[in-house]
């Protein structure tokens, strides 16, 4: 029954559903978000255990961040070219996409009763990270490098899809966007440290091989941290294995472990929904601008402004990473406010696409214009002025990308809450495939068409993504009615 303290426009059914989000006290929720997001914010990290995990997780990205700035060094060491070595980035993105679908599929089904952790990423994925890291560090040929980069990326791939699902499990609708912003910001902060500082201690003053080998020990430490501190967060009765056990008439046999083969590609069938497909394609177009700026950075900004030091090249990541750090939490807060504002204007009616309204302006201006400006500035403005303007464009690109991606991720969880991990995995899988194809063409396009044409095309892709977002916001209800994949309601989201 509603009381005087009950928020306006909230039904009794919604109140009953919200009770499931009160299973964990607020401090415990903060610990969980810190664990799944590499959170470094002192407002969230409140225990020594989480602080230790924070340092470990930063170490993971710190080590892996040497790869892109070290592409020239790796190419020389393996007697190859930058075009070929940069293909390892595309391959690793494909591995991440495939792995996210595998891990999310089993995370929604399995329950490891002998441990407190539910996510198979941490039980099976991190050992793959360790194996892949050893292989990358010992690679003598390009094929070896490609294979082990794929394994390495596969092992770390479940974090985004399953982490987003974890947040959906513990935070209700009007809090979810803000927490998704924190989730992205935590990873970005670690990425910023890794990309900017690791070349100093790794590629420049030691070896890219030694840094990759060090990732083995870091991965082992992370495995133990997640095993000990991350609890089960799925809503009671929602796991596939629980449903199977409930239907099993033989109680004794249901207690035994049974391996079940699941199709990791089945989650892609969710993308027959135009809403989910459009949001996924938009995410790919936005990320293409990011990677178009970063992957060839040694051959764009480095070559144009005579920068050959890997440490300095790594520091060029800083403005974009700083933009990410600012953009991620702001995006989450704005999208939550959009949900609250428009629901109030409609007298309590919830329209999921209202969250996406926060993405329209940055999707139309900041993201595409920042990459187009980088192409023009690098080509036509020399010296310190040109470099400074490029870094400013990097900063705004970082802000714009998160202002689009964070609400899109929260939107996917909103409308597919019961299958949020699968949905985010499908999103990551298709998006990774599209981005990897685009990245594989960046270096050849720069060599053949030039910088202005390549970056202009990346901007056009971003504008195409904006159009898809606008269509989703404008006609979202009709698109959902066109293909129903089991969308959440206000009582179940």
Q: What is the DSSP string of 287-334?
A: HHHHHHHHTTTTTTHHHHTT---HHHHHHTTHHHHHHHHHHHHHHHHH
With CA atoms as reference, report the closest residue to 129 among 11, 212, 38, 6: 212
pLDDT at 51: 34
pLDDT along the chain (493 residues), means of 10: 45 58 64 53 32 38 56 81 79 80 69 40 74 88 88 75 63 60 53 50 60 78 72 55 48 53 83 94 93 88 87 80 82 88 89 93 96 96 95 94 88 81 80 86 90 96 96 93 84 65
Other Cβ atoms less than 10 A from the Cβ of 265: the count is: 13
Q: Give the pair of three-digit tokens for residue 223.
A: 């495995």
What's the CATH number for 23-237+267-481? 1.20.1250.20
Give, in order, the Cα–Cα distances in Å from 59 to each of 21, 216, 412, 416.
32, 11, 30, 33
Distances (CA, A) of 455 to 287, 335, 372: 13, 29, 5
Tokens of 20: 């499931």
Residue (of 465, 308, 305) closest to 371 by Cα position: 465
Question: Which phi-psi region, left, alpha or beta, contains residue 487 (left: φ > 0; alpha: ψ -120 to 50)?
Answer: beta
Residue 177 contacts residue 332 (beta carbons within 8 Å): yes
Give the contacts of 440 (CB within 8 A, at least 6 positions apart): 86, 87, 90
Tell me the residue length of the chain: 493
Specify whether the backbone of 229 is left (phi greater than 0), alpha (psi in -120 to 50) or beta. alpha
Q: Supply the pLDDT for residue 2.
A: 40
pLDDT at 5: 43
User: What is the structure's pLDDT at 64?
Assistant: 47
Which candidate, 217, 239, 201, places its Cα nearest to that of 315? Answer: 201
pLDDT at residue 187 in the model: 53
pLDDT at 283: 92
pTM: 0.74
Rounded Cα gap, residues 462 and 77, in angstroms: 36
The upper half-sphere exposure of residue 331, i.e. CA atoms within 13 Å in the direction of its Cβ, equals: 32
- Domain parsing of the chain, residue ranges: 23-237+267-481
């Amino acid at each position: 029954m509603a009381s005087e303290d009950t928020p306006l426009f909230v039904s009794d059914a919604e109140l009953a559903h919200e009770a499931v989000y009160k299973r964990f006290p607020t401090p415990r929720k903060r610990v969980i978000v810190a664990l799944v997001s590499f959170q470094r914010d002192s407002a969230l990290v409140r225990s020594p255990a989480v602080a230790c995990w924070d340092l470990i997780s930063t170490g993971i990205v710190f080590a892996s961040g040497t790869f892109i700035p070290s592409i020239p060094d790796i190419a020389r060491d393996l007697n190859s070219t930058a075009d070929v070595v940069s293909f390892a980035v595309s391959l690793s993105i494909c591995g991440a996409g495939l792995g996210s679908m595998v891990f999310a599929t089993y995370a929604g089904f399995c329950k490891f009763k002998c441990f407190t952790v539910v996510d198979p990423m941490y039980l099976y994925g991190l050992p793959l990270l360790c194996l892949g890291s050893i292989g990358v560090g010992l690679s003598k040929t390009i094929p070896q490098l490609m294979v082990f980069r794929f394994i390495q990326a596969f092992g770390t791939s479940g974090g985004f899809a399953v982490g987003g699902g974890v947040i959906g499990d513990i935070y209700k609708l009007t809090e979810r966007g803000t927490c998704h912003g924190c989730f992205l910001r935590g990873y970005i902060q670690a990425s910023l440290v890794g990309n900017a500082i690791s070349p100093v201690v790794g590629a420049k003053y030691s070896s890219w091989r030694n840094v990759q080998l060090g990732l083995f020990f870091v991965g082992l430490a992370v495995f133990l941290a997640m095993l000990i501190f991350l609890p089960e967060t799925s809503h009671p009765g929602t796991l596939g294995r629980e449903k199977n056990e409930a239907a099993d008439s033989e109680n004794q046999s249901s207690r035994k472990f049974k391996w079940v083969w699941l199709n990791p590609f089945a989650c892609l069938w969710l993308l027959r929904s135009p809403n989910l497909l459009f949001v996924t394609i938009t995410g790919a177009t936005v990320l293409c601008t990011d990677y178009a700026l970063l992957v060839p950075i040694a051959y764009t900004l480095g070559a144009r402004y005579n920068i050959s030091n890997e440490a300095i090249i790594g520091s060029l990541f800083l403005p974009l990473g700083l933009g990410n750090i600012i953009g991620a939490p702001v995006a989450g807060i704005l999208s939550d406010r959009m949900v609250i504002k428009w629901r109030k204007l409609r007298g309590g009616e919830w329209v999921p696409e209202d969250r996406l309204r926060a993405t329209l302006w940055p999707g139309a201006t900041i993201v595409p214009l920042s990459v187009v400006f980088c192409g023009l500035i690098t080509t036509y403005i020399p010296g310190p002025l040109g470099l400074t303007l490029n870094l400013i464009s990097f900063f705004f690109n970082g802000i714009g990308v998160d202002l689009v991606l964070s609400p899109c991720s929260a939107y996917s969880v909103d409308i597919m809450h019961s299958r949020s991990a699968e949905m985010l995995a499908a999103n990551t899988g298709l998006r990774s495939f599209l981005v990897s194809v685009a990245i594989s063409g960046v270096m050849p396009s720069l060599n053949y068409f030039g910088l202005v044409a390549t970056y202009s095309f990346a901007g056009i892709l971003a504008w195409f993504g904006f159009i898809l977002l606008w269509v989703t916001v404008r006609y979202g209800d009709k698109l959902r009615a066109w293909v129903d994949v089991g969308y959440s309601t206000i009582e179940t989201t």
